[in-house]
Structure 1
Amino acid sequence: MNVYPTRRAVVLMALGAPLALAVAVAAPGLWIAAAAWIVLTVGLMVADVVLAPPPRRLALRADLPATMGAGRSGSARVRLAFEGAAPRRVELAVGEDERLAVSPRRQDVTLSAGRAEAELTLSPRRRGRGRLEGLWARWRGPLGLVWLQRHETPEQAIAVTPDVEGVKQQALQLFARNAPIGSKVLRESGEGSDFHALKEFQTGMDLGDVDWKSSARRQKLVGREYRTERNHHVVLAIDTGRLMSSPAAGLPRLDRAINAALLLAFVSLKMGDRAGLFAFDSRPRLASGMASGPQAFPLLQKLAAGLDYTTEETNFTLGLTALSGGLDRRAMVVVFTDFVDSTSAELMIENLSRLMRTHLVLFVVFRDEELERLAEAEPNVVEDMSRAVIADGLLRQREAVVTRLRRLGAQIVDAPAEGLGPALLNAYLDVKRRGLV
């Protein structure tokens, strides 16, 4: 039983000190009578414990979800049930670990007929197995002199996985909006576009699509109609190195990358392309090979969930060379990585330029909103000015790296962390429209 005094009991005990001192000064022979106040206070506290509902009569249980997606909040319930007499109010506290944030961590719960339920909001911080480190419920005795407390540690762990539910919702919304791509013919043509049929020339069609020979035979203008090619190879290359463990809008960059990669994989598989997953840091960690059809998505989901956080530096030479060696035809390679400055990015640029000789590279830039805020903040002291100058310098270096990659032929996806998935999907759809693969 966990019992300790309330503030009221401490104040009551303290009030006896001046009385004891006065008795000791006025009648030293009666000093022992001053201790009666302490005995009385302790007796009242013991009576409060006896009259209060004991902790053993409280059943304290948490109803937790089995799985949660990283970055997607969910709810949980804590149930309290007293056997027999019960207090009117209970204070509830919840402990959190490094993978789960709990809100509210403390709350007052009003009981009705000895029972109550408390709502909690769980917000996953990182993938893995998250737990509630403890549940604490405490209540006062009827005299308000003691706290009685019950502590339980939930055994159930919550599996924090990539946010597949959010990925599917985003994919279905965006895919429905762009459903004509791949299922209906398009007027856009370009390298790699798939010829579909001839049709009478209409206003708005590109003059380059006019089939002059067929027009001469039919004695009217006839244009070529194209549709987007299918069966492209889409490789999702994810850097799992040290820098990708740093947070972006409350989630590690690695989790942001995985969610965006799964969104693109879901849509590309739906549209008839083949998708594969590749992960690397100091060495290659995962190479799934190419998969086709929507039924392959759970496999990619499972493989992505197994990508762990590391503290190792990324070896772009080894990783991207291994990636290039495993591709037997031209592919769209989506690279999720991060860099600190232009100097540390030199090896990355060099190896990406080799990859771009054969393949189309979509380079995903994690926009550093924290640096942007520091650079744009109004300086109030000298330190603010120093931070703004350093942040502006780092942003300029990042922009220089992105500009170099763009000039080398990479397609750049630059978006805030929370809007990374839709921005990547729009870039993928644009590539298909333009027939760049």
Structure 2
Amino acid sequence: MIYPSGRAVWAAAAGAVPAFLVALALPSFWYLGLLWSCLLLAFLAVDAAAGRGRASLNASIDAPQQAGVGGEFGVQITARHSGPRAAEARVGHDARLAPVDGSGGALLPTAGGGSLFLRFQALRRGVASFDRLWVRWRGPFGLVWNQVVLPVESKVAVLPDVSSARGEAITLLQHAALAEGHAQRRAGQGREFDALKDYQPGMGRRMIDWKRSARHGKLLAREFRIEENNNIVLAIDSGRLMCEPVDGVPKVDRAVTAALLSAFIALKGGDMVSLFGFDARPRVSSGAVRGPASFAMIQKRAAEIDYSSEETNFTLALTTLAARLDRRSLVIIFTDFVDPISAELMLRTVGRLTERHLVLFMMMKDTELESLADLPPRSGEDVARAVVAGGLLRERQVVIGRLRLLGAHVIEADHNRLGPALVERYLQFKQEDLL
């Protein structure tokens, strides 16, 4: 695209005044006023032709693969062309990012082109993208702009910041004697065979290996340990209810933070972790991974769990998840519900899921309803709000009670304690050999 620059506009305005004066003073020579316009048009044509060179233009964007919510990162724009080096660039981005000092500027001359460094701030979790790049440069006379719009594809995974909660999780891990990812070993606990040892008084008779004892001529006992290869599934609901904010942050963001925290602990403990995101239908499925090095992949897949305005389809999501599980697993479901009617289909599916797997529901306390239920009755409206809020809270407890009757475990924690509460329950499951 070619369009006039500010210099061309000022030149046209400057020539209009003499042309008007000539036409006013010498009416018979009015056509002399057109000479400036023709001359300016000629210069514009020469400038536009000499300033081209779009075919030789090559531009790229270098952005980091991931960034934390609220953090800043740099983007390097590099343009190479055979034309004039004085050029400007501007990059297009989505609403998850905000430019710190603008989204464009002049390219600093380099060998064969120019470069520009910009800084952006990550505002929301998700996969942010840079989709377009505008590059423009002037002709030799500076009268026209030559502009090219280049499609680019550069994505940045905006992830929740789990650094503050990671220290607390590691402390919990150390307290549970699972430091450095080794499973806690206790004689007589767990189902995974570890070693044979001499039978000592006080050991249970079930620990005696009678065949090997007869072979060696002395009593030998089997020592077991808690398994290190349990399958942990983190299922995150990203439907309409989970996108409502709690203390300024959407519930799904807090769920993702807690899920990443528990994934970090589980991978350090030697277990396998998979991520599953759903709303009206399944959206994200990472597959089971193992080892601390896989945590980066889990983080990237967590960034793909986007906000949704659709109602959650628990039947489709949990049925799909159950069909993909070929062994007993700990299924941790981050979700929310309003009343027993909306949760009825979920309850039917959970009943089939708990027959084979250990199911844990993670929910945040509804602080808004609790504050309305405890509001002092200063007016009739306050009484009505308190009655409605109290009724919704009672219905919520009815659903939680039905989930527990179906064999599912339920944690209803404060939004600031969701991650640590999940880690504590996970370590408790490991100690009690429930996985």
Which residue number corresponds to residue 50 of structure 2? Answer: none
Equivalent residue for 1:176, pick from 160, 169, 174: 174
Alignment of 1:185 onto 2:192: no
Q: Output the CA distance in 2 between the equivalents of 1:367 and 1:407.
A: 20
Shift of the 234–67 alpha-carbon distance from structure 1 to 2, 3 Å rule, reads closer
Paired AA for residue 384 in structure 2: S
Which residue number corresponds to residue 134 of structure 1? Answer: none
Matched-pair identity in %: 46
Which residue number corresponds to residue 314 of structure 1? Answer: 312
Which residue number corresponds to residue 51 of structure 2? Answer: none
Equivalent residue for 1:286, pick from 270, 284, 287: 284
Alignment of 1:344 onto 2:342: yes
Which residue number corresponds to residue 259 of structure 2? Answer: 261
**In structure 2, the residue corresponding to 1:429 is in which secondary structure?**
helix
Q: Render the CA deviation track for 1:267-313: whole Å, top value 9, x for unaligned.
A: 11111111111111111101111111111111110010121101011
Q: Render the CA deviation track for 1:176-209: whole Å, top value 9, x for unaligned.
A: 333337444125636x455554466577x8x686
User: Offset at 1:125?
Assistant: 6.3
Paired AA for residue 245 in structure 1: C
Shift of the 416–317 alpha-carbon distance from structure 1 to 2, 3 Å rule, reads same
Alignment of 1:373 onto 2:397: no
User: Offset at 1:390?
Assistant: 1.2
Shift of the 385–289 alpha-carbon distance from structure 1 to 2, 3 Å rule, reads same
Q: Output the CA distance in 2 between the equivalents of 1:313 and 1:69.
A: 28
Taking the TM superposition and a 5 Å limit, the aligned residue runs for 1:270-419 are 270-419=268-417
**In structure 1, the residue corresponding to 2:417 is in which secondary structure?**
helix
Q: Output the CA distance in 1 between the equivalents of 2:342 and 2:218.
A: 60
State the Cα RMSD in Å.
3.7
User: Offset at 1:261?
Assistant: 0.7
Q: Output the CA distance in 1 between the equivalents of 2:267 and 2:322.
A: 22
Which residue number corresponds to residue 427 of structure 2? Answer: 429
User: Offset at 1:166?
Assistant: 3.2
Say whether the 8 Å CA contact 1:270–1:293 is kept in structure 2: yes
User: Offset at 1:162?
Assistant: 1.6
Say whether the 8 Å CA contact 1:316–1:348 is kept in structure 2: yes
Say whether the 8 Å CA contact 1:353–1:408 is kept in structure 2: yes
Q: Output the CA distance in 1 between the equivalents of 2:240 and 2:310.
A: 5
- After TM superposition, the score normalised by the length of structure 2 is 0.61
Q: Output the CA distance in 1 between the equivalents of 2:205 and 2:277.
A: 42
- After TM superposition, the score normalised by the length of structure 1 is 0.60
Q: Output the CA distance in 2 between the equivalents of 1:199 and 1:253.
A: 53
Q: Output the CA distance in 1 between the equivalents of 2:95 and 2:386.
A: 31
**In structure 1, the residue corresponding to 2:233 is in which secondary structure?**
strand
User: Offset at 1:416?
Assistant: 0.6
Paired AA for residue 362 in structure 1: L
Q: Output the CA distance in 2 between the equivalents of 1:321 and 1:294.
A: 29
**In structure 2, the residue corresponding to 1:335 is in which secondary structure?**
strand
Say whether the 8 Å CA contact 1:210–1:221 is kept in structure 2: no
Taking the TM superposition and a 5 Å limit, the aligned residue runs for 1:142-161 are 160-161=158-159
Q: Render the CA deviation track for 1:328-367: whole Å, top value 9, x for unaligned.
A: 1111111111111111001011111111111111111211
Q: Output the CA distance in 2 between the equivalents of 1:350 and 1:339.
A: 15
Which residue number corresponds to residue 113 of structure 2? Answer: none
User: Offset at 1:406?
Assistant: 1.1
User: Offset at 1:220?
Assistant: 11
Taking the TM superposition and a 5 Å limit, the aligned residue runs for 1:106-255 are 160-180=158-178, 182-187=182-187, 189=189, 192=191, 194=193, 196-198=195-197, 211=208, 225-255=223-253
Paired AA for residue 267 in structure 2: L
Q: Which runs of 5+ in 1 are unaligned?
A: 1-64, 77-96, 102-121, 131-156
Q: Output the CA distance in 2 between the equivalents of 1:301 and 1:202.
A: 49
**In structure 1, the residue corresponding to 2:428 is in which secondary structure?**
helix
Q: Output the CA distance in 1 between the equivalents of 2:403 and 2:303.
A: 29
User: Offset at 1:69?
Assistant: 3.6
**In structure 2, the residue corresponding to 1:390 is in which secondary structure?**
helix
Say whether the 8 Å CA contact 1:162–1:304 is kept in structure 2: no
Q: Output the CA distance in 2 between the equivalents of 1:98 and 1:417.
A: 25
Shift of the 209–417 alpha-carbon distance from structure 1 to 2, 3 Å rule, reads farther
User: Offset at 1:408?
Assistant: 1.2
Say whether the 8 Å CA contact 2:193–2:222 is kept in structure 1: no
Say whether the 8 Å CA contact 2:363–2:411 is kept in structure 1: yes
Q: Output the CA distance in 2 between the equivalents of 1:260 and 1:412.
A: 15
Shift of the 128–352 alpha-carbon distance from structure 1 to 2, 3 Å rule, reads same
Which residue number corresponds to residue 28 of structure 1? Answer: none
Shift >3 Å, 4+ stretches: 65-70, 73-76, 97-101, 122-130, 157-160, 166-171, 179-184, 192-203, 207-214, 216-226
Q: Output the CA distance in 1 between the equivalents of 2:388 and 2:122.
A: 33
User: Offset at 1:237?
Assistant: 0.7
Q: Output the CA distance in 2 between the equivalents of 1:324 and 1:381.
A: 50
Aligned pair count reads 302
Stretch deviating more after TM superposition (247-256 or 235-244): 247-256
Say whether the 8 Å CA contact 1:127–1:161 is kept in structure 2: yes
